[in-house]
Amino acid sequence: MRKIVSYGIYLAIILGLIFPIGTEYKSLIPILLATILFFSFLKLEYKLNHFFCKELFYYALIGLIIIPSIVFYLTKNLETNLRLGLFLVSITPTAIGAPIIVDLIKGSKELIISNVVLYNMLSPITYSILLHLYFNKLELIIPTKLIFIKLTIMIFIPFILALIFRNFIKLKEKLSYISKYVSPISFILVIGVAVSSASLNLRQLKLINLLIISFYVLILAVFSFYIGSILSKKSKIKKTLTIVFGHKNSTLTTWVALSNFAPPVVIPMILYIIFHHIINGFLIYKYIDSKD
């Protein structure tokens, strides 16, 4: 199934590039994303004591302060929309599906789940505050209040519904079974619509500009995975933090970009989706047979 999803992601990217009709269907993204979030929250098992560990602070300090600052100041020469897209990627929380990768490479389930829940739930605040702090002085309209409201609705409604439905064991089992098919399909559709929405803008980029933005995105992806890998000497924590910092919730940030900004903003996210899945594949290959 995971191989099919991987192939589906690349197929969605290819078809999205060929058929630039995504703007007609981008209104579907919040529905698809809410569906993904609902099923993901339904399956995650989280306990209060998991949220009290120093590793969670690492992400707040490095992932939300240091890395975004570096990205903002090193991309001054980029076109504003592409710069904003890169910044959005840098402040995006860990992917809801990251626990699957961590489980495959034998990392810490407790740490990845607490990180995913905490920072995705805080994302309405972090997106709004950081965008306002960094971009409000530029000639760019940042609808921070609107972003906050949209994200709050988008994340909290699926979360609350998941909390309700998980109390009904039989219904939860049926929904979990359905999610094996619905979530991957929804994820692939989101990527397809996102790529298609930005396709024309991507084609209009000069080759040199495409290579430059690809270079920036690749550096951000590699650096994000790498910084997580050096924050702990403990094998399980090391593996987990690698995924925490590198594997981004691309569906969430894609929706934020498409619903609030110009289509070119999505270009760095499309490239990041490709790069972080390539790196995830390498990590799975590297660690899947490890004994620790």
- pTM summary value: 0.81
- What CATH number labels 35-167+211-287? 1.20.1530.20
Amino acid letter for position 231: L
Query: Any alpha helices (H) in 44-168, and if so which ranges?
Result: 54-58, 67-74, 80-90, 98-104, 109-121, 123-135, 144-165
Q: Which residues pair with 248 in a beta bridge?
A: 94
The phi and psi torsions of 69 (rounded to 5 degrees) equal -65, -45
User: How big is the chain by its Cα radius of gyration, in Å?
Assistant: 18
Per-domain boundaries in the chain? 35-167+211-287
Per-residue pLDDT of the chain (292 residues), as tens digits, is 556 766 777 788 788 888 888 778 878 888 887 888 788 788 777 676 667 788 889 999 999 999 999 999 999 988 888 999 999 999 999 987 777 778 778 888 788 888 888 888 888 889 989 998 898 766 566 777 888 888 888 788 888 898 888 888 888 888 888 888 887 888 788 778 877 877 777 777 888 888 999 999 999 999 999 999 999 888 889 999 999 999 898 878 888 887 888 878 888 988 888 888 788 777 877 776 555 5
**By C-alpha distance, which of 179, 290, 181, 162 is closest to 236?**
290
Q: What is the DSSP letter of 92?
A: P
Task: Tell me the C-alpha distance between 94 and 244, whole Å.
Answer: 5
- Measured CA to CA in angstroms, residue 263 lies from 172, 196, 213, 268 at distances of 38, 10, 15, 11
**By C-alpha distance, which of 94, 90, 96, 95 is closest to 131?**
90
Task: Tell me the C-alpha distance between 277 and 10, whole Å.
Answer: 10
CA angle 132, 76, 209 (to 5 degrees): 120
Pair of tokens at residue 59: 């992400």
Per the CB < 8 A criterion, the answer to whether 242 and 225 are in contact is: yes
**By C-alpha distance, which of 14, 29, 31, 38 is closest to 178?**
38
Per the CB < 8 A criterion, the answer to whether 171 and 165 are in contact is: yes
CA angle 53, 238, 41 (to 5 degrees): 60
Helix (H) or strand (E) holding 237: helix 235-246
